[in-house]
Amino acid sequence: MRRIASFLGLIVLAMGVASEAQQEPETNTVTPSAKTARRFQVLVNGGLGSGGRSFGGVSTFTEFLEQGSSRRDYDGSGGFVFEFGGIYSITREIGIIGSFELFSGDNNAFFEEIVPHPLLFNQSRSASSELAGLSYSENALHLGVVYSIEQPAITVDLFGGPSIFFTETELVTNVSTSSSYPFDELALGSTRTSKFSESPFGFNVGAALTYRFTPVVGVSVQGRFSRASVSLEAQEDSDPLEFDTGGLRVSFGLRLSF
């Protein structure tokens, strides 16, 4: 909660700066375009996000006088992304942008258990399997400064700034194994998963191309790259699982100017 409060504080600070800037007199004498005449834009985007999350770890344990291990490797798939937000123009070229992005995808897990033999040294048995469709959601609040290049019907926005991510990922936390005499083979039993949440800070940069049908309504194509590092302690006796959240998101949407 403290992190989120700090982040909201940043937003308020940015708004304060924006409002001070807004009080400066307009010096541009060119005929106001749709954008400058209308300071607020609402954006709604939908599209695809890349996967590319690849992370894992190994934890160790002692059983039958020897060390065994549990390996977990995860690969994330891409998924659908939805974003809504707004742009507030401070000057003709400069504004601030804020948006909330929702992304959900799947993680595929590979897990392997290596368990020592109960009767013999150096004869550990192993069993492995895969589990697909572990849930992964990644919501993010992006803030930033936007620089706009305007043509009569087309606007190019370049933006970048800080982000806070709200990730929830389902991870394999327990894999039961069994073995029967003569204990030379290991069989996998049930698999237990749990959901882990983390809210790391990161950044985002991107660009959007908007075509206006009217001064109010336009369509846009947007590309955004965002990133933050997530660290989850999902297994005992193991280093935290670390991976990068975010990635490249390409989306299409509406721009409404007011």
**Positions that interact with other proteins (CB under 8 A):** 64-65, 117-121, 131, 170, 173-174, 176, 181-184, 188-195, 236
CB 44 within 8 A of CB 252: no
> Which residue lies nearer to other proteins by CB, 20 or 184?
184
Shortest CB 172 distance to other proteins, Å: 9
Distance from C-alpha of 20 to C-alpha of 51, rounded to nearest angstrom: 40
Instruction: Give least dist CB 207 to other proteins, A.
Output: 39
Nearer to other proteins, 20 or 185 (CB): 185
- Residue 10, sorted as left (phi over 0), alpha (psi -120 to 50) or beta, turns out to be alpha
Residue 146 Cα distances to 31, 189, 218, angstroms: 21, 53, 17
**Cβ proximity to other proteins, 190 vs 214, nearer residue:** 190
Closest-CA residue to 147 (of 229, 90, 73): 90
Q: How near is the Cβ of 146 to other proteins at its closest, in Å?
A: 39
Nearer to other proteins, 54 or 62 (CB): 62
Q: How many CA atoms lie within 13 A of 199 on its CB side?
A: 11
Q: How far is the CB of 230 from other proteins (least distance, A)?
A: 19
* Separation of alpha carbons 170 and 44, rounded Å: 28
Q: For residues 132 and 219, which CB has a smaller minimum distance to other proteins in the complex?
A: 132
Q: Which residues of 103-119 are buried (b: 16+ CB within 10 A; e: fewer)?
A: bebbbebebbbbbbbee
DSSP code at position 181: T
* CB of residue 180 to other proteins, shortest distance in Å: 9
Q: What is the closest distance, in whole angstroms, from the C-beta atom of residue 52 to other proteins in the complex? A: 24
CB of residue 3 to other proteins, shortest distance in Å: 19
**Cβ neighbours of residue 210 under 8 Å, at least 6 residues apart?**
154, 155, 156, 157, 218, 219, 220, 255
Q: Measured from the CB atom, is 80 or 121 closer to other proteins? A: 121
* Identity of the residue, 91 or 179, whose beta carbon is nearer to other proteins in the bound complex: 179
Sign of CA dihedral 164, 43, 49, 210: negative
